[in-house]
Structure 1
Amino acid sequence: MTDILNIVGGGMAGSEAAWQAARAGLRVRLHEMRPAVATFAHRTGDLAEMVCSNSFRSDDDERNAVGLLHWEMRAAGSLLMAMAERHRLPAGGALAVDRDAFSAAVTQAIRDEPLIEVVEGEVTALPRDGHWIIATGPLTGTALAASIAAEAGQDHLAFFDAIAPIVHADSIDMSAAWRQSRYDKGETEEERTAYINCPMDRDTYEAFIDAMLDADTAAFKDGEEGSATGATPFFDGCLPIEVMAARGRETLRHGPMKPVGLTNPHAPDAKPHAVVQLRRDNALGTLYNIVGFQTKMKYGAQAAVLRMIPGLEDARFARLGGIHRNTFINSPTLLDDRMRLRSRPNIRFAGQITGVEGYVESAAMGLLAGRMAAAEMTGTALPPVPQTTAMGALLMHITGGADARTFQPMNVNFGLFPPVDARGGRRGRAVRYKMYTDRAKADWSGWLEGTAAPLAAE
């Protein structure tokens, strides 16, 4: 075979796409601009670097859509899921990983695969010839983004994504904080104590909200939300914490700071008014990220506000929060049902740039793009992905299920799935979700049996 599949972007989607295509027998060139061209959000030149969080979210594959997506990816021999499992950290029911060890393992596996060549350097324009997957993610280079926009015949869409701060564990005051996963979730003691919790009473919470709303925030550029000319929206699944607070003083107490499912052993009879949770960020347990605390506060103001949290008065930060513009294309208009650019079908898109949101969703679309490219290039028939699966539901959303006029990034959720048969009376949510996952697993297993499945990652 002489044809080579070129993949632009070595993030979650590009790495998974390269792995799947190589395991199907294709030669792959994986183009990654880092470290030669840096971004503000990345710290290394490793592939599949985790930026916003170290969590792949819920691993419950029976009643949760993202957990189901984990299951489908594992069944399909996902490299990223295999490396995530290898470098898993205790996180209750979530799949959290040591982010540096995870990305290093993905990088090593890719570089050790003889059919994959990693090419360092920036691709600045959509190519005319050959087979390509564009998986450049939310931080697509300026020149390539302009080339995509020119080909699409419209301005590319955008929203803001934000990064949560990371704290050195030995700077947390454990006389005020305690270790506990919400509702004591987890099968082991380590999992049930995977989070550090910092409680707030009402007065502390109100002062915290006031300080946050008064804090200096990063300036916007022209054309961005908050500027004189812009109206680029935030993605609701990754809102800066001060934006949530501005929507109502109680918003955070019903979001990332909800005080439910937790008991403070320092004061077991006192119910906290709000709780800030920190999740372990590395295998050593020396770093913790503040869950849900993405922010656009300036660094000085941010550190001062965060040190108002009980237990974090003397916190040392390994990384403060930040914000960046996240680009994506209007996929329902531009892509066909095989993720190909309608105007140039030699080019596929995958990952966050297609309008899926989240590490897992991005990797899943990379998995499909890699398999679809491999099937096309080898002349292998590939049946349509069942819409009843998590993979198929996401694929349908970005290639025709969503209204192109109001298209926005989306996490996987059961609202994207065809309804289950609910005959026999009203069913509880847990029962319905189990029906979704049972149907999806059966249909995904059947789809895999009808394809030439790549070998699983070791």
Structure 2
Amino acid sequence: MTQTLHIVGGGMAGSEAAWQAAEMGVDVVIHEMRPKVETFAHKTGNLGEMVCSNSFRSDDDEQNAVGLLHWEMRTADGLIMTTADEHRLPAGGALAVDRDPFAETVTAKLKAHPRISVSYEEITDLPQDGHWIFATGPLTSTNLGAAIQAETGAEALAFFDAIAPILYAESIDMSKAWMQSRYDKGETEEERTAYLNCPMDKDQYEAFIDALLTADKTEFHEGETAGYFDGCLPIEVMAERGRETLRFGPMKPVGLTNPHNPENKAYAVVQLRRDNALGTLFNIVGFQTKMKYGAQTEVLRMIPGLENASFARLGGIHRNTFLNSPTLLDNQMRLKSKPHIRFAGQITGVEGYVESAAMGLLAGRFAAAEILGIELPVVPQDSAMGALIHHITGGAEAKTFQPMNVNFGLFQPVEGLKGGRRGRKDRYKAYTDRAKAAWHDWLSHS
């Protein structure tokens, strides 16, 4: 009789793990504590709810590592990527989704699967037997976090993560703002006008930086030592690193022409991306923040075009926890001290929706194969999946382990290619060609 796989957490990783295991013929129970137990960031009880951004980042599968990861997940019939494609929004070369319908569809698909059931309860302890995947994410509940820490015997590792504000489109002054993707990137007019741009001159930018630096911010409790993940820095932290940091980061003015004043080059530009299919909501790109709510509205309304902005959701900051996976997990993401338990998703030390879902995809397949008595080949390190799981389960230095996005720096070098910027395009194409062949081969033998 086939044994049941229990998955704790119904986010990106847990949802994908459940789908993959069920498609392989294993009965699955998803244990999700929401909406009975709420978190700082989640607003619903939907599975696969997106909380930080609505973007899966670049969809270029020949020149970008996350785009390659998209391709590998699509090739493996991944639930998250299939659903993302169904609810895609124009975002230039990126893959952005309409977040609420996306989560509703993920939930509906999982609940409709004959081998999947959902139990809305909080799991507070590590089980002593059975087959389990813990995909509780960075917002793991306090009780479960304590149980994990007690089992691993390690101090909890943590970093701070921030979310960006979302505002109503109707409150944006389009006599100052305009729609354009950087360098007019995109194959259709909709893609070439996927971003809303708010320009600043030098005086406006300097005043904005001054306001950021002096605004009231969320303070951490005494003794709090967690740092920030560099891929999700609050704008105030970036400003503290140098007054020009934002102008060379999320506020860079390159590749844009203001149709209201085409002869005048903006000193800095704030970009917003459509957050839903209706186009009624926009999120401010790269503007994660730890400013207190009152200060947030005051400072953000200094941006030209947003003087009368009305906010659907303000930004905020929260503590994320993750495992020291190189020390604690084996190459199939099993907890070494309790091999009947796997971990998946962001709690393993990957960063980003796509990476979290990818590790869920592998964990679901690993667990299902174990239950069914199937021996899977090792995930090839030349694939994006393989490069990422190799990094978190042994390739990274345990003493300095920090959350990691997928990137070509995790890949084994391709022999015979020139280095430097001039050879980068050929090198990335070689990485992706090699990865696709390796991934196809792995799937055909799995």
Equivalent in the alignment of 2:240: 246
Q: How many residues align?
A: 445
CA–CA distance in structure 1, aligned partners of residues 182 and 138 of structure 2: 31
Deviations along 1:65-114, whole A, 9 cap, x unmatched?
Answer: 00000000000000010100000000000000000000000000000001
Equivalent in the alignment of 1:442: 437
Per the TM alignment, residue 23 of structure 1 is displaced from its structure 2 partner at its CA by 0.2
SS at 1:400's partner residue?
helix
Per the TM alignment, residue 231 of structure 1 is displaced from its structure 2 partner at its CA by 2.0
Alignment of 1:161-310 (within 5 A): 161-222=161-222, 229-310=223-304
Residue 373 (structure 2) pairs with residue 384 (structure 1): no
Equivalent in the alignment of 1:226: none
Per the TM alignment, residue 428 of structure 1 is displaced from its structure 2 partner at its CA by 1.5
CA–CA distance in structure 2, aligned partners of residues 24 and 162 of structure 1: 36
CA distance change for structure 1 residues 294 and 424 in 2, over 3 Å: closer, same or farther? Answer: closer
Deviations along 1:226-257, whole A, 9 cap, x unmatched?
Answer: xxx23211000000010000000000011100
Equivalent in the alignment of 2:20: 20
Equivalent in the alignment of 1:430: 425
Per the TM alignment, residue 191 of structure 1 is displaced from its structure 2 partner at its CA by 0.7
Q: Which amino acid aligns with 2:35?
A: P
CA–CA distance in structure 1, aligned partners of residues 419 and 54 of structure 2: 41
Per the TM alignment, residue 423 of structure 1 is displaced from its structure 2 partner at its CA by 4.4
CA–CA distance in structure 1, aligned partners of residues 53 and 150 of structure 2: 32
Q: Which amino acid aligns with 1:74?
A: R
Unaligned segments of structure 1, at least 5 residues: 223-228, 452-458
SS at 1:263's partner residue?
coil
Q: Check conservation: 2:2, 2:371, Cα contact below 8 A.
A: no
Residue 318 (structure 2) pairs with residue 324 (structure 1): yes
SS at 1:148's partner residue?
helix
Per the TM alignment, residue 424 of structure 1 is displaced from its structure 2 partner at its CA by 6.7
Alignment of 1:83-98 (within 5 A): 83-98=83-98
SS at 1:272's partner residue?
coil
CA distance change for structure 1 residues 425 and 84 in 2, over 3 Å: closer, same or farther? Answer: closer
Deviations along 1:6-46, whole A, 9 cap, x unmatched?
Answer: 00000000000000000000000000000000012111100
Q: TM-score, normalised by structure 2?
A: 0.99
Residue 135 (structure 2) pairs with residue 156 (structure 1): no
Q: Which amino acid aligns with 1:429?
A: R
CA–CA distance in structure 1, aligned partners of residues 170 and 419 of structure 2: 54
Corresponding residue to 1:360 among 350, 354, 358: 354
Equivalent in the alignment of 1:113: 113
CA–CA distance in structure 2, aligned partners of residues 218 and 127 of structure 1: 37
CA–CA distance in structure 1, aligned partners of residues 260 and 36 of structure 2: 50
CA–CA distance in structure 2, aligned partners of residues 238 and 179 of structure 1: 25
> What root-mean-square deviation, in Å, do the aligned CA atoms of Structure 1 and Structure 2 show?
0.9
Q: Which amino acid aligns with 1:314?
A: N
CA–CA distance in structure 2, aligned partners of residues 318 and 186 of structure 1: 28
Q: Which amino acid aligns with 1:324?
A: H
Equivalent in the alignment of 1:454: none
State the identity %: 74
Q: Which amino acid aligns with 1:442?
A: A
Q: Which amino acid aligns with 2:374?
A: T
Equivalent in the alignment of 2:337: 343
Q: Check conservation: 2:2, 2:372, Cα contact below 8 A.
A: no
Q: Which amino acid aligns with 1:433?
A: Y
Residue 399 (structure 2) pairs with residue 405 (structure 1): yes
Q: Check conservation: 2:91, 2:194, Cα contact below 8 A.
A: yes
CA–CA distance in structure 2, aligned partners of residues 98 and 424 of structure 1: 41
CA–CA distance in structure 1, aligned partners of residues 76 and 89 of structure 2: 23
CA–CA distance in structure 2, aligned partners of residues 215 and 23 of structure 1: 51
Residue 376 (structure 2) pairs with residue 371 (structure 1): no
Per the TM alignment, residue 381 of structure 1 is displaced from its structure 2 partner at its CA by 1.4
CA–CA distance in structure 1, aligned partners of residues 272 and 386 of structure 2: 34
CA distance change for structure 1 residues 425 and 245 in 2, over 3 Å: closer, same or farther? Answer: closer
CA distance change for structure 1 residues 336 and 425 in 2, over 3 Å: closer, same or farther? Answer: closer
Equivalent in the alignment of 1:456: none
CA–CA distance in structure 1, aligned partners of residues 143 and 338 of structure 2: 18
Per the TM alignment, residue 269 of structure 1 is displaced from its structure 2 partner at its CA by 1.1
Equivalent in the alignment of 2:124: 124
CA–CA distance in structure 2, aligned partners of residues 259 and 391 of structure 1: 34
Equivalent in the alignment of 1:79: 79
Equivalent in the alignment of 1:141: 141
Q: Check conservation: 2:417, 2:427, Cα contact below 8 A.
A: no
Structure 1 segments of 4 or more deviating over 6 A?
none
Per the TM alignment, residue 420 of structure 1 is displaced from its structure 2 partner at its CA by 1.0
CA distance change for structure 1 residues 80 and 424 in 2, over 3 Å: closer, same or farther? Answer: closer
Alignment of 1:4-43 (within 5 A): 4-43=4-43
SS at 2:266's partner residue?
coil
CA–CA distance in structure 2, aligned partners of residues 73 and 337 of structure 1: 19
CA distance change for structure 1 residues 160 and 425 in 2, over 3 Å: closer, same or farther? Answer: closer
Deviations along 1:408-429, whole A, 9 cap, x unmatched?
Answer: 0000000000011134787621
SS at 1:84's partner residue?
helix
Unaligned segments of structure 2, at least 5 residues: none
CA distance change for structure 1 residues 424 and 55 in 2, over 3 Å: closer, same or farther? Answer: closer
CA distance change for structure 1 residues 295 and 28 in 2, over 3 Å: closer, same or farther? Answer: same
